[in-house]
Structure 1
Amino acid sequence: MHTNSYYVEKLLGEGGYGVVARCMNVDTEEVVALKMVREYIDKEDAEREVKSLCKLKQLDADTHNVVKFIEHFEYKGRFCLIFELLDLNLVHYMESRDWRPLDVAEIRPIAQQMLVALEGLQNIGLVHADMKLDNIAFVDLSLSQFFKVKLIDFGCAIEVSELSESNTIQMTGYRAPEVIMGLPLTEAVDMWSLGANLAHIFLGEPLYPDESEYEQLRIMVHFQGQPKDHLLKAGQKARQFFTESHDSSGQGRKSPSVVPLMRNSAASMTFSSSSCCTWIQKKGSPPAQLFATGSLQ
């Protein structure tokens, strides 16, 4: 039962899903973040987020670098979620430096902490399904441990066992190719998004365009090459993006459109996001494996 009372100190932000405010627990004087879900949001969606957050409590929030969920309650018919208060997310931080790219030494600790977060989610059978710069937040930029970060916003999280029922997840630009092409989904979709996020802060601009799935896939083909034939045949939506042609021997081929070059080439990256962004990983590279293989050295 909810027994705490909160005093709203400051509105921190708002979006289509709800508003976030800085609040103080009246009894303990603990400063927290309150997320109030908008009244027009379907109750089932709000309850699904609460279910994911309750499952998240199986993890130690500090050890696994995920936001600490404190409690939830209803106020005047609207869901309210209480979290620990964090600092800027990566979008706001990059904006504060005019999107000047981070170097590898700065990116490495962020990558390592997010791999730990994903490993924790994998252990409890949860997929974040919305990894983007907005959802990676610094704990406290004023502290000496400058790049301590956490994964936040589990509003789109889904259990691995329910992925087969999901048609579209993730934001365009960070969306895994198996989602775009209609292939079977696993927790590897989060690994793809992580790689795209790391590339974004390394380049200072998105690695993949976000205007459409078609444009994103064109750039993927440019950097990673064409998907294997068996993937193209298995993809329920592959024919929306690839046309079939035949070579002189009569063999069927899938022919992608010509892909434009980007202004900055990710080929110059000296850390390997390719361990995260590769064509369809059946199980994905386990997050812990990326430490062992030296992919972030």
Structure 2
Amino acid sequence: MGIGISSPSSDYEMEHYLGSGAYGAVVQSKKLTTNETVALKVIKNERYMEVAKKEVEILQYLKGLGSDKFNIVMLNDSFTHVGCYYMEFEKLDINLTDFLRKKPRRSLEQKEICPIVHQLATTLDFLQSVGIVHADLKPENIMIVDEGQKPVRVKIIDFGLALKNPEEHRGAVLQTLWYRCPEVLLGAAFSGAIDVWSLGCIVVEMFTGSALFPGENENEMLRENVSDENGGESERDSFVELVADMLKLDSAKRISPSEILLHPFVAKSHLADNSIHEKSSSSAGSKTKIDQNDNAESGNRSPDAIPAKRRKDCEDVEMTCAQTSPSMSPSQK
């Protein structure tokens, strides 16, 4: 692109387009004063500038509380240039949707999912402890820090819908449709538990390769009268049990982020020597320390292409979710 822009502290050269969010485009840029590669979020429409400034305010608030230790994207700067508002972020590698698309079956094994869930639960635990609801957790807003690194490290981005004091926002349209929880669909009171619901949907999507609730509208998502019965819990493995706990219709019964971190699936032994796990574990007790395409595609897979044990796990997950949740979709309407 080669377009130059300036802030009070640096000049930038725009290199190439990375993607777009709800109200701005993101461009990879070179920060000329330091020669760093950064991501610039560009907001041209005045209508969205106040939203962007609220996002900056929340990210600065979180940064002051040590958000860099809790898998949240780092905001470096914000400024206005020639009528546009810019937000400078650290450059991350690829979002979770695109990462999954590169996989043979657009899915991950449980051992790959486990550290991702641990990191995301650590983030949600931190957010809950400081009174922030992300309100738009979806695969496009989960970034892989370095695609080549094993195990995968992730960070949450796009705090454009994030809010404090959820009790004041009852009835607001939040969350991308495929990841929108029952209480938001119904306009009921909500809490940080809405982010746990979204995480549950994402966990299933990572495992099966398909969106859990690909509905077209809210009516579709509320059409089925579902049951909140447990149905053979003793026979489920810890993974299926965790998904069921994330997707409880009653938000008061939904598992909390701190409980996710203690769940057998997340805390299981194969992570004992995992450096990501150790780093996250050291920062997971946030409660005691502190009193970026809405049209995501998801590939459907032939059951015959999946090993029998894994196919059975997928069926267990899907059966559990059908028992505990209504149908949903990724596009905010």
- TM-score after normalising by structure 2: 0.70
The letter of the residue matching 1:202 is F
Look up the SS of the partner of 2:60 in the other structure: helix
1:209 corresponds to which residue? Answer: 214
The letter of the residue matching 1:28 is T
1:11 corresponds to which residue? Answer: 17
1:278 corresponds to which of 248, 253, 274: 248
1:83 corresponds to which residue? Answer: 89
Q: Which moved more, 1:178-187 or 1:270-279?
A: 270-279
The letter of the residue matching 1:123 is S
1:55 corresponds to which residue? Answer: 61
Do 1:99 and 1:205's aligned partners in 2 also have CA atoms closer than 8 Å?
no
1:113 corresponds to which of 119, 138, 152: 119
Partners of 1:84 and 1:93 lie apart in 2 by 19
Instruction: Confirm whether residue 176 of structure 1 aligns to residue 181 of structure 2.
Output: yes
The 5 Å alignment of 1:1-297 reads: 2-15=8-21, 17-97=23-103, 99-143=105-149, 145-161=150-166, 163-218=168-223, 221-222=225-226, 224=228, 270-271=239-240, 272-282=242-252, 284-296=254-266, 297=268
Cα-Cα RMSD: 2.4
Look up the SS of the partner of 2:239 in the other structure: coil
The alpha carbon displacement at 1:6 in A equals 1.6
Q: Which moved more, 1:54-63 or 1:195-204?
A: 54-63
Do 1:87 and 1:141's aligned partners in 2 also have CA atoms closer than 8 Å?
yes
Do 2:238 and 2:264's aligned partners in 1 also have CA atoms closer than 8 Å?
no
The letter of the residue matching 1:281 is S
Do 2:171 and 2:184's aligned partners in 1 also have CA atoms closer than 8 Å?
no
Look up the SS of the partner of 2:178 in the other structure: coil
Partners of 1:92 and 1:25 lie apart in 2 by 26
The alpha carbon displacement at 1:192 in A equals 0.5
Higher RCO, Cα 8 Å, sep 6+: 2
Structure in which a larger fraction of residues adopt helix: 2
The letter of the residue matching 2:181 is A
| Structure 2 residue runs without a partner (length 5+) | 1-6, 231-235, 269-333
How high is the sequence identity, in percent, across the aligned residues?
33
1:263 corresponds to which residue? Answer: none
Do 1:186 and 1:282's aligned partners in 2 also have CA atoms closer than 8 Å?
no
| Structure 1 residue runs without a partner (length 5+) | 227-266
Classify 1:92/1:293 alpha carbon distance in 2 versus 1 (closer, same or farther; 3 Å): closer
Q: Deviations over 1:36-77 (max 9, x none)?
A: 013253332222222222222134344201111111001112
Do 2:43 and 2:86's aligned partners in 1 also have CA atoms closer than 8 Å?
yes
- TM-score after normalising by structure 1: 0.78
1:240 corresponds to which residue? Answer: none
Do 1:8 and 1:23's aligned partners in 2 also have CA atoms closer than 8 Å?
yes
The alpha carbon displacement at 1:284 in A equals 4.8
Partners of 1:132 and 1:31 lie apart in 2 by 25
Partners of 2:12 and 2:167 lie apart in 1 by 35
The alpha carbon displacement at 1:5 in A equals 2.0
Partners of 1:123 and 1:193 lie apart in 2 by 18
**Aligned residue pair count:** 255
Do 2:166 and 2:190's aligned partners in 1 also have CA atoms closer than 8 Å?
no
2:308 corresponds to which residue? Answer: none
Look up the SS of the partner of 1:127 in the other structure: coil
Do 1:127 and 1:158's aligned partners in 2 also have CA atoms closer than 8 Å?
yes
The letter of the residue matching 2:112 is E
Partners of 1:133 and 1:112 lie apart in 2 by 15
Classify 1:98/1:79 alpha carbon distance in 2 versus 1 (closer, same or farther; 3 Å): farther
Partners of 2:21 and 2:122 lie apart in 1 by 28
Partners of 1:203 and 1:44 lie apart in 2 by 38
The letter of the residue matching 2:61 is K
Partners of 2:180 and 2:190 lie apart in 1 by 12
The alpha carbon displacement at 1:210 in A equals 3.1
Look up the SS of the partner of 1:273 in the other structure: helix
Partners of 1:200 and 1:131 lie apart in 2 by 13
